[in-house]
Structure 1
């Protein structure tokens, strides 16, 4: 009897462990699925942005560098989307394997339970053929024996009910797993069909890009002149930023020397109460704290425009049209809708507002030891020395290369950083 009780207990625990383990696997898959769906959604939004950008430039019939940058980014996003679909199918295959494995275990358990239950029914039928329950009870040799026989019959009945309940539960789980499996098969078919469509769209985009590049490459002389003009504009901007940074460093050094002189004078005059903090040092502490808080905001800064996509990335790369020609970007170019407002990504102080030919209006904002640069603005609103809050509007986006586009940079003193890693991922 004890052996049977232990057997039923083991079966129940094992069955429960199967359910819990499968739920654990499902939770892990759910996290992977959630992450993948989030990436797919963000990428679709990026594709939609590039499509809107291309539509906005359709009014101008001529091919421009801005158009080519937009279609290049759309191709990149389309390729990424196909890659995400392949990951999706791999994940579905893994999920289907888990479901099949769980389904096989449940089928084995159901078979075991059915055999156990059949054995119980057979034993019950043999017993009932010889004696009934009452005669079994009253044939006890003592009162204690009678109580033990009663408990035995009660446990035997409870075990049979439990066995039926367990089998019912396993059958329900099997149906659920079968439904999940059919659903995953349908999802995979749908993704295969969508992937085929995306691949066809990708080929059309690449064909269109080839045509646009071929058309624009005919204007090679004009493009080379444009590149040289842009280099001069960038050099002017670098000189401007370097001068601002040098001026700020010199100011801080002067304030530090002034503070040291004041402390030295106070130390000589012991009769006077020592000052807690001089004004310049308080200002320096605030700037230091601002720089630390900015430095801790990597991957959390808002975008300088509410809508848009990166059309040209940080660093040295090949020109989108001219073979063998390298171009450099100290920041990132962001294409955005026409007349889009440009905003500060962090609180700070406006250190320079100027106009540079080829880069439009430029606003330079200081955040302690960090600086953000917003170039190619059509309109500018702040003035030098003005305090700016995070997400506060500083101007509107201008046009560059046949598209509405701004250039955004981040500097740490005289070192230019890749802004893409500082902005909230889109």
Structure 2
């Protein structure tokens, strides 16, 4: 029974360790990814810092570094908390196993003493013959037969418990060492975070001396964003009107064909009944104006594409294979200036491939102030990709999911390499967060 309890303790600890390991692995993967991103940012910052002229790109780089270092510190905190839980569980397990081992050894010592006192055949026979009746004598005989086997089994339990205790003590030492390393790494990150914040203050101070130039740059950026949004709205509106026109033409054709068939049938019926041919009064065909959604889903192909796109909500790939979100959907304030973002601004390496997030048809490729805008139709949905330095698709071309459509450009104003991704349902801008797959 005592061994059974010890086994339950070991199983419980192994289960807890498995859950811990899974969470720990996820945290380690995320920490490694953050470390890689920070190393890349450091390299880029050193390149820009080598120029004596302070740039907005340096400031943006430092802002991203600060955010990533704060996330990495929080990640390490989570790892430390997990290790604290693991260490606490291991301490309890070691204590329980030690108590179990002590009890097993005590019981085993009693058995050894009993065996020593009854080691002669005479004593064993006297033990059996001292029985009150035959049944008691039989039970004592069976007891003596099983006693040796049980003692061997108890010795095995002791060895197994000792081995498990040794393993748990080693794991405990390993966890304590890992925790110490994490705390050292965390302190290092806090130091680097402090340096980044100090550099940020310095860069802001230097940039404040060129406020006029910066305001002009920011105004140019806002104008480019506004122009991109207008182009997207206009392109989608044109597509809706074209699809509505085609839908109304098809509805009118069907109505006129139905009227023609009805008139021919009426004329034939009159002829069969020797009656005068009916007078056909041509009435103008009135077609109900289709809504935007009806127009965009007018054909079976478009309706299926819309439904497939909707079915992949939350699973669409990111427009770049590797990147960091700079600004999400909605309003944000940066350097005291209020900005409205209709999509995602994603930082990526200069020249990185930009890919379609779903199959569809290219509806626009246009140069916007020196970089390209690509709009792809997915039935009722549209995705837009701007700030591309080059494109390799054309209007009317069908593209597949993850097909490369262009390359990331480096903005000449901010010095930032990024792609702007916008998602529309009809003319309505929607938050990509609920559509794109979670970032790794």
Alignment TM-score, normalising by the size of structure 1: 0.84
What is the match of residue 17 of structure 2?
A: 26
What is the match of residue 89 of structure 1?
A: 80
What is the match of residue 316 of structure 1?
A: 331
* Deviates most, 46-55 or 164-173: 46-55
What is the match of residue 347 of structure 1?
A: 359
1:405 and 1:89 map into 2 onto residues whose CA distance is 34
Q: Aligned-pair distance for 1:97?
A: 0.4
What is the match of residue 428 of structure 2?
A: 415
* Deviates most, 370-379 or 125-134: 125-134
1:300 and 1:267 map into 2 onto residues whose CA distance is 48
Q: Aligned-pair distance for 1:291?
A: 2.5
1:73 and 1:389 map into 2 onto residues whose CA distance is 32
What is the match of residue 379 of structure 2?
A: 368
What is the match of residue 356 of structure 1?
A: 368
2:130 and 2:29 map into 1 onto residues whose CA distance is 71
Number of residue-to-residue matches in the alignment: 406
1:156 and 1:74 map into 2 onto residues whose CA distance is 70
In the alignment, structure 1 residue 296 sits paired with structure 2 residue 287: no
- The structure whose RCO (Cα within 8 Å, separation 6+) is larger is 1
What is the match of residue 416 of structure 2?
A: 403
Task: Give the aligned CA root-mean-square deviation in angstroms.
Answer: 3.1
Q: Aligned-pair distance for 1:262?
A: 5.9
* Deviates most, 129-138 or 146-155: 129-138
* Contact residue 374 and residue 406 of structure 1 kept, 8 A: yes
Match for residue 36 of structure 2 among 42, 45, 59: 45
Match for residue 393 of structure 1 among 388, 392, 404: 404
Match for residue 164 of structure 2 among 169, 173, 179: 173
* Contact residue 333 and residue 408 of structure 1 kept, 8 A: yes
* Deviates most, 143-152 or 341-350: 143-152
* Contact residue 354 and residue 406 of structure 2 kept, 8 A: yes
Unaligned runs of 5+ in 1: 1-9, 273-279
In the alignment, structure 1 residue 330 sits paired with structure 2 residue 337: no
1:244 and 1:256 map into 2 onto residues whose CA distance is 18
Q: Aligned-pair distance for 1:13?
A: 1.9
What is the match of residue 113 of structure 2?
A: 122
Match for residue 233 of structure 2 among 239, 242, 252: 242
Match for residue 153 of structure 2 among 159, 162, 168: 162
What is the match of residue 287 of structure 1?
A: 302
2:243 and 2:139 map into 1 onto residues whose CA distance is 92
Unaligned runs of 5+ in 2: 266-294
* Contact residue 314 and residue 332 of structure 1 kept, 8 A: yes
* Contact residue 129 and residue 137 of structure 2 kept, 8 A: yes
1:212 and 1:338 map into 2 onto residues whose CA distance is 23
In the alignment, structure 1 residue 219 sits paired with structure 2 residue 210: yes
* Superimposed CA distance per residue, residues 383-414 of structure 1 (whole angstroms, 9 cap, x where no aligned partner): 21111122222222222112333222222222
Q: Aligned-pair distance for 1:45?
A: 2.8
User: Larger radius of gyration, structure 1 or 2?
Assistant: 2
Alignment TM-score, normalising by the size of structure 2: 0.82
